[in-house]
Amino acid sequence: MNRLDRMIGFVAPGWAEKRASSRAETARHEAVRNVMAGYGKGYGRHGASQTKKSMVMWQTSAGDADADIHNNLEQLRTRARDLHMGSDIVAAAHKGLRTNIVGTGLKLKPAFDSKYLKLSKSQEKKLRDSIYREWSMWAETTKCDAAGLNDFYELQSLAFISSLMSGDVFGLLPMLPRKHSVYDLRVNIVEADRCDTPLAAALLKPELIQSGVEVDDDGMVVAYHFSNHHPGSDTTAVSPKDWVRVEKYGKLTGRLNVIHLFEAERPGQRRGIPVISPIIESLKQLDQYTEAELMAAVIAAMYTVFVKTPAEDDDYMHGMESPETDNQYQEPIPGTGGDNVKMGRGAIVYLDPGEEVQFANPTRPNPDYVGFVNALLRQISAALELPFEILTKQFTSSYSASRGALLEAWKMYRMRRSWLAKSFCQPIYEEWFVEAVTKGRIDAPGIFDDPAIFHAYTRAEWHGPSQGLLDPTKEVDAAVTRIENNFSTAERETAELTGGSWEQNIEQRAYEKTRLADLGLSSNVGADPQQQASGKSEDDADESSEGGEEENAEKGQA
């Protein structure tokens, strides 16, 4: 209270108290107005508004990657896998991405730096042939798999689709000598659930180990912790859960021990999330809606005759027994207190006296079903970076629209393919290359002397399935034009159009031409149309031209 309030307090204490209370209330309202004034500026009037009716109930809190992602990973994984197993659109999305990005596998094309390594043409060819031969001996057999089930290209497919469903996947690279195997390097694919934080470590180092990933004081990943079995395995009850710590890089050799395949979205994120995480709720509701519509359509299609009679249960109508049908009665549901009548295709059901059956008109099929579902699928496809036509496999628009959808999808396919090649294929290839050189299978002098030399030897390109051709004539003509104007190379265009190798193609074509010549046949592929009409090849035309010139020269001399 100020002096005036104290003086009033001596005369009228109640009045003085009301003045002080009113002054405090005025100050409180002024403070609130000052705070709210800040909310009404800039984004406070729009996306950050806390006074608009549409935003007042939208209260969110900020969390780091651990709070927002890692604490919710288990629930995200289980729900994403459940949708993969039970939702047709999710299974189509996952398998469609795998087919277009990985397909039959990303194929190796050695791209070592011949100029830096000072290799001659003969040395370059010898090294390339040696790499192809040794790599195929390891990668195209199941000897590369620690489980002995898949070859390297099937392991790519397994790792990729597992990362889509679970958010991430791990590839261990142990050296396991086995009989009848030249190379000891193996690839062991480990599911995301097995990378978990041990109980003791969670209490001692909670800030350094999160979701099974251990970092040092600088935030660099140094090790992973794997349990001896899956947390959902049936062996959990009989076998105690134990963890093994695997360092990312070997202390002595520095070789890579663990490949962690995931896409990070935030700084500090150590684990990946399923690709459908942002749309899990929409997908589940769409799945439930589809099931409800399907069930309603099935019920509407049922044709069942209900017969109500005043006769006793033991009496027969007109001396005939009731027909024996498998769908007349059903076992009573607990809590219903009686038998349950179920409908069937062409069924005849006899009711007890006094019982009636009433149906609600299902009005199926729903005329709005297709439009509503397509509208949801367009939103879902946008979240998956897939055009609606690609997700639903419905190319009903024009050629230009279909081509535009394919081109848009292939932007994402190429990005994910490059990510898979850099994160999975290339590290494994480098580890295999080291073993091949160490065992004398490949000659690479100086590879361990300088990291630059190592990089020059192990450079590689990884080519996957081709995009496909909507109009082969236009696509091939465009490719030829790009090559002729040096906008592209024959090797790249071959890989883009057919997924093959230009080097192997020309070698095969040379053999085919030689074989045709040995058989006395001619290949008119690529020949001049006039020569094709006359049945003469370029060699025949050249010989004919040379013969004519010689004949004219002889006539001139005469």
Q: How far is CA 295 from CA 26, 265, 282, 369, in A?
A: 63, 40, 20, 13
Is 160 within a domain? yes
Mean pLDDT in consecutive groups of 10 residues from the start of the chain, 558 residues: 61 69 72 57 79 81 83 92 93 94 92 94 93 95 94 96 95 93 95 89 77 90 92 73 91 91 90 93 92 83 68 48 46 52 65 68 76 92 91 82 86 94 96 96 94 96 81 86 91 80 86 89 58 46 48 47
The answer on 146 and 27 residing in a single domain is no
Is 10 within a domain? yes
What is the domain range of residue 344?
Answer: 277-383
Is 539 within a domain? yes
Q: How far is CA 331 from CA 1, 154, 201, 335, 351, in A?
A: 81, 48, 53, 12, 16
Q: Cis omega before residue 231 (within 30°)?
A: no
Is 436 within a domain? no
Tokens of 315: 């009496």
| Whether 512 contacts 524, CB under 8 Å | no
- Can you give the pLDDT at residue 296? 82
Q: d(Cα 194, Cα 85) in Å, to the nearest integer?
A: 20
The answer on 112 and 258 residing in a single domain is yes
Is 77 within a domain? yes
The answer on 245 and 99 residing in a single domain is yes
Q: d(Cα 552, Cα 536) in Å, to the nearest integer?
A: 22
The answer on 240 and 297 residing in a single domain is no
Q: Considering only CA atoms, which of 168, 161, 175 is closest in space to residue 432? A: 175
The answer on 243 and 334 residing in a single domain is no
Last residue of a domain, one of 232, 252, 276: 276
The answer on 149 and 90 residing in a single domain is yes
- Can you give the pLDDT at residue 317? 45
The answer on 364 and 249 residing in a single domain is no
The answer on 372 and 241 residing in a single domain is no
- Can you give the pLDDT at residue 47? 81
The answer on 268 and 124 residing in a single domain is yes
The answer on 271 and 128 residing in a single domain is yes
The answer on 242 and 151 residing in a single domain is yes
Number of domains the chain contains: 4
| Whether 434 contacts 253, CB under 8 Å | no
Last residue of a domain, one of 383, 403, 422: 383
- Can you give the pLDDT at residue 131? 96
The answer on 169 and 145 residing in a single domain is yes
**pTM for the model:** 0.75
Residues found in the chain: 558
Last residue of a domain, one of 215, 242, 276: 276
Is 444 within a domain? no
**Cα 41-42-46 angle, rounded to 5 deg:** 100
Is 360 within a domain? yes
- Residue 43 makes CB contacts below 8 A (sequence gap 6+) with none
- Which sign, positive or negative, has the C-alpha torsion 280, 282, 284, 290? negative
User: What is the SS3 string spanning 2-60?
Assistant: CHHHHHHHHHCHHHHHHHHHHHHHHHHHHHHHHHHHHHCCHHHHCCCCCCCCCCCCCCC
Is 464 within a domain? no
